[in-house]
Amino acid sequence: MPDSYRAGREDIGDELQVAFGFAGRDGLPMVLEVRPDVAAAQQSVTTAQTNLTKARNDLEKLKAAIASLKEKRQLHVSGIDPQAVAVYGGVKKQRGTAVARVEQGLCRGCRISLPVTEFQKAKTGNLVRCGSCGRILYLA
């Protein structure tokens, strides 16, 4: 190989070594310093792992609380007419709030005046829905 070709290849090799930090410009090996932020990063990782463990524990506690509440709800619902529970579930899905108080002849869910017949039915304690918003009515 021609000497000029070899010299060119060696220059490229030297440039790559410098670019990737393997050797200094004078050809001597570079000493890589340990960055002082490594300790801070390790502390951050430890803190994050601790927070993750705590969050997982909190999640498990919340799941247990939800399961307990579902059991309690099932006990309460078992004593109610299944048709009324189905109506409540449907209105809850549709409106978000399934029950509205009646005050001074007004549905407090939609603030519309109730017809006298709906108001009278609500007084008897029957399951009555507002003709306007569909919520289940109760008297305060």
Q: Write down the pLDDT at residue 11.
A: 57
Q: Are residues 44 and 55 in the same domain?
A: yes
Judgement on whether residues 12 and 41 belong to the same structural domain of the protein: no
pLDDT score, position 92 = 92
Q: How far is the C-alpha of 19 from the C-alpha of 29, rounded, in Å? A: 13
User: Position 74: which residue type?
Assistant: Q
Give residue 3's domain range.
Answer: 1-32
Cα gap 44→21, rounded to integer Å:
27
| The pLDDT of residue 40 | 81
Q: What is the pLDDT of residues 34-43, one digit of tens each?
A: 556 777 888 8
Cβ proximity of 102 and 139 under 8 Å: yes
Query: Is 128 found in the same domain as 99?
Result: yes
Q: What is the pLDDT of residue 109?
A: 92
Residues of the chain with pLDDT under 50: 1, 5-8
* Model pLDDT, residue 93: 92
85/131 same-domain check = yes
The predicted structure's pLDDT at residue 140: 78
